[in-house]
Amino acid sequence: MRTIRVETSAATILLTEAPEPKIRDRQTGEIAKDAVSGEALMTIGVVYIEEGESSLIKVTVPESGVSEGLILGSPVSLPGLVARPWESVFNGQQRHGIAYRAAAVTPAAFPAAMEATA
Query: For residue 28, is pLDDT > 80?
Result: yes
pLDDT digits (tens, 9 = 90+) for 53-95: 999 999 999 999 999 999 999 999 999 999 999 999 988 999 9
Amino acid at 26: R
pLDDT at position 17 over 60:
yes
Mention every residue, 6+ apart, whose C-beta is less than 8 A from residue 29.
Answer: 23
pTM: 0.86
Does position 109 have pLDDT exceeding 90, yes or no?
A: no
Q: Are 10 and 50 in contact (CB under 8 A)?
A: yes
R_g (Cα) of the chain, nearest Å: 15
